[in-house]
């Protein structure tokens, strides 16, 4: 069991000064500073609060306090809710002070574990935990090759843990380190789905009853696979029997009818979102968006694959439907052009996929100047630490848009005391120093990942002739 309690080091050594009333060589501030009382003295009225804190800071600087050293970096894998989660802990030279970060890459946990435990741990040991940016920049290039999901997630775990430590050392939630709140809580959207219109309607209604004002609607799985029937590739013996089928036309027609039905039932007050998940060709994506424009979506997510980013110029010219993009992005070469050319309305990166909190706050700042809002990826295969990082950034940035949020089951809450909570469609962080989330290592061991299980969720999806469907 790792304990997030903090024993903040104070300047306790008393410096004996010869104080002479006759000579007046030592001012009141010098005397207090010399005793090492600093802010404590201010509480007793010896100094003004400003003088007390200035004296305390000066005393510590003059005494040359030792850097906070990283002593160990460890990655832990667990599976409390049918998805693999990976978190990283960073231990420090101050007993009991550690940081917690998210490095979840649920489809490929083993290489992330290796990247953290075998490479980032020896790299980071004995380095100054306070110097987050320096650590990030040098860890980023330490493997020479970069901008990939495995190394980015591993680096994210280290980076987020350092921000957690920084907040604990400061005695503040991380959002306070960025300038404080821009909103009282974080508006979220939830997922509604069903195999037909009636099931979708019932699912949407349940989300409204929970207090959500924004709901993502899907007709079954991504691409409405259950509506496609002609799996000719199976008859030809192409691929494996479990490979799934999806044709574009049934999906496109069903999606348009779904938006029409939900709008007719619930009216214009409900904000509707939808995830294409890159499963149609760019031209068909443009046709779909033009048809959906009349139903005023809040946004349509990932209309094309990252490899087709150049199509966003045509999409932007063809329709006014707001676009969210970035869930699969690894590199600034992917998100910078879309932001600076105002080709998307919401940037939707997965924080750990980009390399961590340090990167995401820079993305948010870049996006602010181009009127692009945030919609960070917040799926079910994200640890509570990752969700907390999303929410702390959401609270602090002026260009927040919306936040995807997935609830935590009891097992996950057992492992991570202090999980973020949702009430009336708004998410709240545990406003204690750092992320506000703790880690129960003993509880995590009760839910090991299943290394023998195949990653069935991402089995190949094919057109009727066997052509692979992205993503």
Catalytic residues: 222, 277
Distance between CA atoms of residues 33 and 38, nearest Å: 6
Q: Pairing relation of β-strands 186-194 and 403-404?
A: parallel
154 phi and psi angles, rounded to 5 deg:
-60, -45
Q: Which residues contact 432 (CB under 8 A, 6 or more apart)?
A: 4, 173, 418
**How is residue 448 written in tokens?**
């090991």
SS (H, E, C) the chain: CCCCCCCCCCCCCCCCCCCCCCCCCCCHHHHHHHHCCCHHHHHCCCCCHHHHHHHHHHHHHHHCCCCCEEEEEEEEEECCCCCCEEEEEEEECCCCCEEEEECCCCCCHHHHHHHHHHHHHHHHCCCECCCHHHHHHHHHHCCCCCCCHHHHHHHHHHHHHHHHHHHHHHCCEHHHHCCCCCCCCEEEEEEEEECCHHHHHHHHHHHHHCCCCEEEEEECCCCCHHHCCCCHHHHCCCCCCCCEECCHHHHHHHHHHHHHHHHHHHCCCCEEEEECCCCCCHHHHHHHHHHHHHHCCCEEECCCCHHHHHHHHHHHHHCCCCEEECCCCCCHHHHHHHHHCCCCCEECCCHHHHCCHHHHHHHHHHHHCCCCEECCCCCCCCCHHHHHHHHHHHHHCCCECCEECCCCCHHHHHHCCCCCEEECCEEECCCCCECCCCCCHHHHCCCCCCCCCCCHHHCCEECCCCCECCC
Give burial (CB, 10 Å; 0-12/13-18/19+) of 2. Answer: middle
């Amino acid at each position: 069991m790792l304990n997030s309690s903090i024993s903040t080091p104070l300047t306790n050594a008393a410096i004996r000064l010869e104080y002479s009333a006759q000579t007046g060589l030592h001012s009141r501030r010098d005397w207090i500073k010399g005793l090492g009382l600093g802010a404590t003295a201010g509480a007793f009225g010896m100094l003004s609060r400003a003088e007390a804190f200035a004296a305390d800071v000066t005393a510590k600087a003059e005494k040359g306090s030792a850097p906070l050293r990283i002593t160990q970096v460890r990655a832990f894998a667990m599976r409390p809710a049918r998805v693999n989660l990976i978190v990283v802990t960073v231990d420090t030279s101050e007993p009991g002070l550690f940081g917690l970060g998210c490095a979840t890459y649920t489809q490929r946990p083993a290489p992330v574990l290796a990247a953290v435990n075998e490479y980032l741990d020896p790299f980071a040991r004995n380095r100054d935990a306070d110097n987050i940016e320096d650590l990030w920049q040098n860890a980023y290039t330490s493997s020479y090759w970069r901008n990939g999901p495995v190394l980015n997630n591993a680096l994210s775990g280290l980076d987020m843990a350092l921000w957690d430590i920084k907040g604990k050392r400061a005695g503040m939630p991380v959002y306070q380190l960025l300038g404080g709140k821009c909103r009282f809580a974080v508006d979220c959207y939830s997922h509604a789905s069903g195999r037909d219109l009636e099931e979708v309607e019932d699912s949407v209604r349940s989300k409204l009853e929970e207090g959500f004002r924004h709901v993502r609607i899907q007709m079954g799985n991504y691409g409405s696979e259950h509506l496609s029937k002609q799996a000719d590739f199976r008859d030809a013996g192409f691929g494996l029997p479990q490979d799934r089928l999806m044709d574009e036309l049934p999906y496109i027609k069903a999606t348009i009818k779904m938006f029409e039905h939900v709008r007719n039932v619930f009216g214009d007050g409900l904000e509707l979102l939808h995830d294409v998940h890159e499963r149609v060709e760019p031209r068909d994506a443009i046709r779909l968006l033009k048809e959906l424009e009349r139903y005023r979506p809040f946004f349509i997510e990932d209309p094309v694959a990252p490899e087709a980013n150049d199509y966003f110029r045509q999409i932007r010219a063809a329709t006014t439907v707001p676009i969210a993009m970035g869930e699969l992005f690894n590199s600034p070469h992917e998100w910078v052009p879309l932001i600076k050319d105002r080709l998307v309305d919401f940037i939707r990166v997965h924080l750990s996929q980009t390399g961590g909190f340090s990167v995401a706050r820079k993305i948010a700042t870049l996006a602010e100047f181009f009127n692009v809002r945030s919609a960070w990826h917040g799926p079910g295969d994200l640890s509570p630490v990752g969700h907390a990082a999303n929410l702390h950034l959401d609270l602090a940035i002026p260009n927040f848009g919306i936040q995807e949020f997935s609830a935590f089951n009891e097992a996950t809450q057992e492992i991570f005391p202090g999980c973020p909570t949702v009430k009336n469609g708004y998410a709240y962080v545990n406003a204690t120093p750092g992320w506000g989330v703790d880690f129960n290592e003993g509880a995590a061991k009760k839910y090991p990942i299943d290394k023998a299980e195949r990653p069935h969720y991402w089995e190949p999806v094919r057109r009727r002739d066997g052509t692979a469907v992205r993503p």
